[in-house]
Structure 1
C-alpha cells in the first residue's frame, strides 16, 4: 500500500519550524518563527490552542506531561501541560537553542535519569536533568554551531552533528568522543543550514545509530561502530532521492526509518529488509525541518517545512494505519504458537536458505523483535546476522579545482593566476557566465549566456574551456587572435566529469574513464584510458595531470594516483605517481606552480609539491598555521616558486569564498616543516632544503652565506663532525676555503686540515664513482622520464623539472683572496678583539662570516689598476652603469632609482679620475708599502661597507 499524504495547512510564519507528539499520541505540538506554540488535536483541527512564548521559538519537546520550548532569549523554558504555565528554566545558552530532544522511555533502572539533550549555536551541547540544575554533561569540543543531538535509550552514548562538518559520538560515562564521522556540510550559522543532519538511535534496544549522509542514510552498529546497512531509493520506486537527506527518525517500534530531503521528499524504509516502502514529494518542494512519528505505532508521520506548514503521512508501514495494531497482535500470537514446536521450527530455519531480501525469517523475528530464541553459536549464522565487513569511507567524487559548489546561485567556476570565471543563476533559472582577467592587456572580459547550463570551467592564457554533464559537451573560446569558439560533443554513453585547460592543451575526463586531449584550437590530440575513476584534472603548458582512484578507499583514507601526461607533436609520454594525503582527508585542490611543478592540497590544510627531478612529494605549507579560527580554511589560487609564496583566500567558517564582496587574496610563505623551526639552525636548514628543490629567486651569494652561517653554528656548538658533514654535503669548491679559514680562526686546526683535504678527496671519488652513478641515473631516466621535448635540449630533459638555485652574474675570473693575518710578537693574536671600540658586548658567532662572504665575491686585485668598477677604455657612463647596476643595487638596497643613478655618477667620476691620475703620474708607493697598508686596513675593519668593492683608496 502506498503512503498517503494529507493536504498541507498553515501552522506558523515562514522560517524554521519544529513538531512533536504528546506521549499518548492524541495531540500534535508545533512551534515556529512567529513565537507561538500550537497544540493540534489532528491535522484537520481548525482551532488549535495557541500560546505565545516570545518573538520566536526554534524547538519544542514533550516529556512527562511537560513541554520544553527553546525561546528567543536563549533558554529552554519548561511549561506544564495542558495548562501551559511556566514551570522553570532547564538550562541557558549564549546563543539560540537549535534542538531539544529527550531520551527514549524504555525499561530503565530506578537510578537511570531521563535527560534532555539541548544544542545551541554557541558550539555547545548539554545533557540536562528534567528538573533543572547543573547540566549532567556539557559537550564543548565543537568548533561550529551544533545542529542536532540524539541520545541512546540506555544512556550510554550521545551523538551530535556540528556545522564544522563532523558528527561526533560521545561516551556519556567517560565524557569522551568515541567516533567522528565527516558527513555534515560546513556552515557558520544555524540559520544558513539546509542539511540539519538530525540522526536517531534505534528506540527499542539502542543497537543502531542512523544518520544522513548525502543522498543515503547510514546505519551504524553501536558496539563496533561499523557500517551495518545503507538506505537509499529502490529502482522499482517511481521517485528517486534527488538531493541531500537532512534528517532521519526511527518509528516507535524500531522497525521503520523515515528520512526527509532538503527538497521536501520523505522516504520510509523497512529496517529488516532494507527496502524502501515509498517516497512522497512535497507539493511545493520546500525543505522539511522536522518530523515526528505518532507514539501509537499506527504508521502516522507528522512533518513541518521551512514555510511553516504542517503535513501528515499515513500508512507509512505499508498497510492501513487503522489495522496496524491488530495486525501486530496477530503476529505476536502466531509466533507464540509456533514457538511451542521449537524443534520443527529450528529444522525449517536451518534447512531454509533464501536469496530474496524480502523473505520473512522467523529466526530473525524471534531474535530481534521478541528475543524469544538465542542464536546458537554452533550453527552457521544467517547472511543478515553475519559480522559486517570493515566499513570504508565513500570514494571522493570528481571536482573542479579552484571552484565553489555547483548548487550555489552565485559561484566561482574557476579562480587561478590567469583570471576568474563566475556563474550567476537568477531566480527564474537563467544563468550567465562572466570571465575576468587579472591582466587586462592579455584579453578583455567576457560575458556569456549559459544556455547549456555549464557547471565546469578552466582558464588559461590561450583558451576558456566550459563543460557540462548533460548534454555532455565541451565548449572552448580561443583567446588568441579573433576569439574563435569551437565545441565537441561526447559520445552518447559518456559524460564529462572534469575539465582542464593550459596554454597548449585542453583535457576532459569522462565517466568512461577516458582522458580526451584537444589542442587549444579544437584538434583532437589523443584519447587515453585511466586506471580508475577520475577525481580531478590539472594542466600546464603541454602536460596534463590526471588524479584518479588507484584502489578502493580504505577505512579512513582515499587511495589516489596521478598520471602526468606530456605531449610534444606526435609523441606522448606518461608517468604515474601516488598522491599522498593527510590521514582521513580528501584532495581539495590540484594545480602546478608557476614553473610547472605538480602541487596537491588536501582539506586538512597541507600543501605538497612533487619534485620531478627527485621523484618525491614535499610538504610546502601548512595553511593551518596561518588560520585564526578552527573552522577557517584556505582557498588556494596559485603557487609561486620564484617568490616562495602561496596565493590563497581565507574562508571564515567555510571551505570556499563568497562572491560578494570580492575576497582579498593573501600571500602565505612557503616553509618546509622541519623539526624545531623556532631555532636558528633549523631555519637555515629549511632555507637550504627549500632552495635545493624549488626554483627560488635566490643568487649564489645568499645561498653560500646561509650555508656558511650554518657551518659557523656547528663550529660554535663544538660539533666539528657536523660542520665537516655539512661541507661534504654541499660540495662547493668556492665555499670550502672560506670554511677552512673560519675554522682556523676559531682554533679548530684539525677541522681546517680536514677541510683542506676535502677537495682532493672529491676529485678521487668523482673518478671512482663516475661510471657507477652514470649508469644508475641513466637507468632511472629511462624508467621515469616523461618529457618528450625535442628542441635544443636533451630528449630526456624533464618538462616540469624546476631549475635549482639561480646564479646571478659573477665575473668569471673571480677568485678567493685570503686576508693576511699579522703575527703579534710575544703572544697569540686575538682575531676577535675590536680595535675601534671598548664595548664589552660578546661578538656574534657569525660575525666572521660577514666579512669573509664579501671577500669571496670580490675579484682578485692583481694590481692597483685592476679595479672591476673601473671604466673600460672608451666606455661611457651609460655603458658602465648598465654593467655595474646589479652590483650597485645589491650594495645599496635602500636607494631608489634616481638616487642610485646619482650615486653611480659620483663613483664613476671618482674611479675615472683615479684611473687618469694613475696613468699620468704612475704609482706613488712601492708595492710592499701598498700591500702592508691594505693588510692593515682589512684587519682593523671587521666589516667592510657595501660599496667597498667600488671605492677608490686614496694614497697619502
Structure 2
C-alpha cells in the first residue's frame, strides 16, 4: 500500500521549523522563525493554540507534560502543558540551541548548540549530567540511547561522534557531515537516531544512503537507499516500534524503509522540493509521520507502515535464525539462496551474514573463513595534525597564526577567492602584507625573519622573507608527499609531511636537513634555530593520546636532537605548542592546562590552569604567547567556543603563571610557589625581593614552632647574606637554639668549600674535554642551547694564539646564592634550556691583591686546569694561610698574570684591557645575551 501525503499548510514564517508530538499522540507541537509555538489537534486544525516565546524558536520537545523550547536568548525554556506557563530554564548556552531531543524511556534532555557543545541535562535544570566539548564546529544534532548508555552528536567540523555516557569518552567517530560554519547555513543537519526499543543500532545519513551501526561492535550492519533518491540524505528517524526507518533528503524527498527486510515502502516527493527541517512519528504507532519544511509549512504522511508486512516478518525471523546458527554454513547458504533478491530496494542477506556472523567473502562464489566476532577494545581516534594558534580551516574568516610576532588571517569570499593578510605587532619590524591565496594555503607560521605558508594539494612550501633583498622562495614536495604542519623560527623553517619526514630549511631557502620522525606528526613549533616536533609515539589508548616531542637544534653544521614524552591531562588532546620568550618548550591541552619543559632538570612543570580564570564552564582560552620575564601568559578568552572570532578583533588578556602547589590559599604555599617558580623560570625578579620572600617563609616556620623546617629552608637556600638576618630574627623570637644552629651552619658551609671546589674543578675538566661551540651573538647562543646542556662548551675557534680562560664573575660570599640575578636585561635572558645546572658552583671574581708571587710560566697551549693541577703543591706551599677556595681564586689570578706576560712579552700584560684586540690575541666574547655556558668557553689555536 502506498504512503498517502496530506496537503501542506502554513504553520510558521519562512526559516528553520521544528515539530514534535505530545506523548499521547493527540497533539502536534511546532515552533518556527516567527518566535511562536503552536499546538495542533491535527493537521486540519484551523485554529491552533499559539504562544509567543521570543523573536524566534529553533527547537521544541515534549516530555512529561512539559514543553521545552530553544528560545532566542540561547536558553532551553520549560513550559507547563497545556497551560503553557514558564516553568524554569533547563540550561543556557552562549550560542543558539540547535536541537532538543528526548524520548519516553530517557529521563534526561539532550541539547546541542552552536557554541560547539552538547549537553545531557536534568529535566529539572541544574548542572548538566554530561557535557560533550570536543567539537570544533557548531553541533547540528544530538541523539540519546534509550538506556542512556550512549549519546551521539553531529558537528559542523565534519564528524559524527558517539559518546559513552558512563565514561564520558568518545567510542566512535565517523566523517560523514558536510562542514559548515553555522547551523542556519547547514543544508544537511545529519540528524541521527538510536533504535528506540533496546538501543542496539544507530542510524545516520551519509550521502544518498542511511547507515545502520551495531552499538556493540560499532561495525556497519545495514545500509538503506533507493534508486529514486537523487540528493543527499539529511535526517533519519526510527518509528516508535523500531521496525521502520524514515529519512529525508535536502530536496524534500521522504523515504520509509522496513528494517527487517530492508525494503523501501515508498518515496514521497515534496511538492516544492524544499528541504525538510524536522520529522516526528506519532507515538500511537499508527504509521503517521509529521514533518516541517524550511518554508514554515507543516505536512503529514499516513500509512507509512504499509499494508502487507507478513513477508517482511518472515524474513526478519530468518535473519534472527542466522544470528543464532553460527557453525552451520550450509543452512546459511540455503537461506541466502532462498531470500536473496535482485530488487534494488532490498538489502542483500549475504551482506547481513558477513556483518553479523563475521564471515569474510574471499571468493564471490563461495563464503570463506570466519573471524573472531569479539570486537577489539575501542580506542580514541588519533589526534589529527594541526597548526598552533590557528582556527579551523573550514571557516570563511580564520586565523592562520597568532603569536608574539604578529597575526596571519585568511579570508575566503563566496565565489571561492581567498586572500591572506599579515599584521605585525611591531610595525618597525615590517609593514603589513596582503596577498592573494592562489594556491589555497591552509597553514601558516610567522617569525621575525620569514612568513611560511603551505598547502596540502598541491603540496608546496612558500616563504616570504622579511629581511634582505630576496622576498619570496618556494619548495615543492616530491611525488605524493603532502605537508601536514609548518613552523618558522628566526633561523629555520620546518615542515612535516605525511611521509613522516621533517624537512628543515634556512630562512632564505637553503635545504638544511631531512629528519625521519618516529610517528605521525601532530604539530610543530620553532624558536630561533630550534624546532619542536610532536608526533604519536604509539597508537592512542582507550582514552589517552600517546605523544612524544623531538627537540631539534641547528648549530652551524651540527644538528642535535632530544626526544621527550609529552604529558597530557587524562582524555585530553594537545591544543597548542610553542615556546616562552626565552625558548622553553610549552604545551597546552584542551582541558586548559599549560605546561613548560625545563631541560635543565628534564621535567615538565604545570605553569597555569586557565580554567581558574574562566567564568563559564564552556569558556576556553586561545594561547598567544608566554613570557617568563613578566611571568604572564597572553591569551584570548573565547566565550562558549574554542577559538576567537576574526571580527571584532578580540582582546588579548594576561594570565598569571602559577605552579599548582598544595593549599594555595595559605600564605606558606604562596611563598613556596614563588620560590619554586623563580628557581625554574627566568623571572624578572631582583635578589632583594627573593630574599624577602625567603625570609617571610622562614618567619612563618619560626612562628609555627617548627624550627627544623626553618633550618631546612636555610640549608636549601644556601645564601650567606640571608643567614645573618635569619639568625637575628630567630634571636628576637627567643629561638636561641635555632640561632646557634644557623651560626654553626655558616661554619659547616666553610668546611664544605673543599667539596665544592672539587665539583668546580671537575666542571672545568668536563668543559675542556667536551666539544664546545663559539657563540658570537646572543641569538646563536640561544639556538645552540636548546638541546645542549650547560655542561657542554661552545665550539672552539681557530686563532693564532694560545688558549686563555675568560674572566669569571663571582659573588661576595663563599657559598652559591640561588637568587643571584644575571646582569642582563629582561629581553636578553637566556633560555632555561641553556643555563648551567643550578647546583654547579659559581666561580668568584678575584679580589684586588697587590701581592704577586713569582709567576710560574704555563706550557704551550696549557689550560688553567692542567696548569693548576701541575702547580697546586707549589701554590699551597707559597700560600699556607689560604683555604681551598681562596687558593683557587689566587691561582686564577696568577694564571692570567703569567699567561698575559707570555702573550704580550711585557710586564703590563696582566693589566691589559679585556676588550683589547691586538694582533695574535684571542677575541674575548662578552655579549649581554650570552648564557652562563659562554663564560667558560675556550678558543683553540689553529
TM-score (norm 1): 0.64
Q: Are the structure 2 counterparts of residues 226 and 620 from structure 1 closer, same or farther at C-alpha, using a change threshold of 3 Å?
A: closer
Which residue of structure 2 lines up, in the alignment, with residue 98 of structure 1? Answer: 58
Which residue of structure 1 lines up, in the alignment, with residue 422 of structure 2? Answer: 435
CA distance in 1, matches of 2:594, 2:581: 15
CA distance in 1, matches of 2:166, 2:668: 50
| Among 7, 11, 21, the residue aligned to 1:62 | 21
- Given the alignment of the two structures, is residue 147 of structure 1 paired with residue 98 of structure 2, yes or no? yes
Q: Are the structure 2 counterparts of residues 635 and 343 from structure 1 closer, same or farther at C-alpha, using a change threshold of 3 Å?
A: closer
CA distance in 2, matches of 1:344, 1:257: 22
Q: Do 2:236 and 2:247's aligned partners in 1 also have CA atoms closer than 8 Å? A: yes
Q: Are the structure 2 counterparts of residues 583 and 97 from structure 1 closer, same or farther at C-alpha, using a change threshold of 3 Å?
A: farther
Which residue of structure 2 lines up, in the alignment, with residue 920 of structure 1? Answer: none
| Among 142, 146, 167, the residue aligned to 1:198 | 142
- Given the alignment of the two structures, is residue 259 of structure 1 paired with residue 188 of structure 2, yes or no? no
| Among 192, 213, 220, the residue aligned to 1:248 | 192
TM-score (norm 2): 0.65
| Among 35, 40, 51, the residue aligned to 1:79 | 40
Which residue of structure 2 lines up, in the alignment, with residue 823 of structure 1? Answer: none
CA distance in 2, matches of 1:255, 1:752: 75
CA distance in 2, matches of 1:270, 1:210: 13
CA distance in 1, matches of 2:812, 2:318: 107
Q: Do 1:465 and 1:501's aligned partners in 2 also have CA atoms closer than 8 Å? A: yes
- Given the alignment of the two structures, is residue 791 of structure 1 paired with residue 778 of structure 2, yes or no? no
Q: Do 2:621 and 2:635's aligned partners in 1 also have CA atoms closer than 8 Å? A: yes
Aligned residue-pair number: 715
CA distance in 1, matches of 2:526, 2:355: 56
| Secondary structure at 1:487 match in 2 | strand
Q: Do 1:303 and 1:310's aligned partners in 2 also have CA atoms closer than 8 Å? A: yes
- Given the alignment of the two structures, is residue 274 of structure 1 paired with residue 221 of structure 2, yes or no? yes
Alignment map for 1:182-221 (pairs within 5 Å): 182-185=133-136, 193=138, 195-199=139-143, 201=145, 210-212=152-154, 215=158, 217-218=160-161
CA distance in 2, matches of 1:802, 1:690: 20
Q: Are the structure 2 counterparts of residues 730 and 435 from structure 1 closer, same or farther at C-alpha, using a change threshold of 3 Å?
A: same
Deviates more, 1:605-614 or 1:123-132: 123-132
| Among 275, 292, 314, the residue aligned to 1:333 | 314
Alignment map for 1:149-548 (pairs within 5 Å): 149-155=100-106, 158-169=109-120, 180-185=131-136, 193=138, 195-199=139-143, 201=145, 210-212=152-154, 215=158, 217-218=160-161, 246-249=190-193, 259-260=204-205, 265-271=207-213, 273-277=220-224, 301=246, 303=248, 310-313=252-255, 319-321=263-265, 329-333=310-314, 348=328, 359=350, 386=374, 388-548=375-535
Structure of higher RCO (CA pairs closer than 8 Å, 6+ residues apart): 2
CA distance in 2, matches of 1:275, 1:334: 15
Which residue of structure 2 lines up, in the alignment, with residue 831 of structure 1? Answer: none
Q: Do 2:159 and 2:175's aligned partners in 1 also have CA atoms closer than 8 Å? A: yes
CA distance in 2, matches of 1:403, 1:94: 36
Deviation (angstroms), 1:421: 1.3
Per-residue deviation, residues 40-63 of structure 1 (Å, max 9, x unmatched) = 62xxx6xx33245x7977422234
Q: Do 1:268 and 1:279's aligned partners in 2 also have CA atoms closer than 8 Å? A: no
Q: Do 2:635 and 2:653's aligned partners in 1 also have CA atoms closer than 8 Å? A: yes
Deviation (angstroms), 1:270: 3.8
| Secondary structure at 1:310 match in 2 | coil
CA distance in 1, matches of 2:724, 2:705: 20
Q: Are the structure 2 counterparts of residues 333 and 222 from structure 1 closer, same or farther at C-alpha, using a change threshold of 3 Å?
A: farther
Q: Do 2:203 and 2:212's aligned partners in 1 also have CA atoms closer than 8 Å? A: no
Q: Do 2:189 and 2:234's aligned partners in 1 also have CA atoms closer than 8 Å? A: no
Q: Do 1:66 and 1:81's aligned partners in 2 also have CA atoms closer than 8 Å? A: yes
Unaligned runs of 5+ in 2: 178-185, 215-219, 268-304, 337-347, 358-369, 791-807, 816-942
Q: Do 1:153 and 1:206's aligned partners in 2 also have CA atoms closer than 8 Å? A: no
Q: Do 1:156 and 1:173's aligned partners in 2 also have CA atoms closer than 8 Å? A: no
| Secondary structure at 1:199 match in 2 | strand
Unaligned runs of 5+ in 1: 1-23, 28-39, 104-112, 187-192, 235-241, 367-381, 804-808, 817-956
CA distance in 2, matches of 1:695, 1:289: 55
CA distance in 2, matches of 1:775, 1:545: 32
CA distance in 2, matches of 1:87, 1:694: 69
Per-residue deviation, residues 488-538 of structure 1 (Å, max 9, x unmatched) = 111222111100000111100111111111111111111111121111100
Q: Do 1:215 and 1:245's aligned partners in 2 also have CA atoms closer than 8 Å? A: no
CA distance in 2, matches of 1:544, 1:500: 8
Q: Are the structure 2 counterparts of residues 310 and 222 from structure 1 closer, same or farther at C-alpha, using a change threshold of 3 Å?
A: same
Alignment map for 1:544-623 (pairs within 5 Å): 544-623=531-610
Q: Are the structure 2 counterparts of residues 432 and 211 from structure 1 closer, same or farther at C-alpha, using a change threshold of 3 Å?
A: closer
CA distance in 2, matches of 1:678, 1:349: 70
Q: Do 1:566 and 1:573's aligned partners in 2 also have CA atoms closer than 8 Å? A: yes
Deviation (angstroms), 1:547: 0.9
CA distance in 1, matches of 2:627, 2:158: 39
Q: Do 1:215 and 1:243's aligned partners in 2 also have CA atoms closer than 8 Å? A: no
Q: Are the structure 2 counterparts of residues 151 and 646 from structure 1 closer, same or farther at C-alpha, using a change threshold of 3 Å?
A: same
| Secondary structure at 2:742 match in 1 | helix
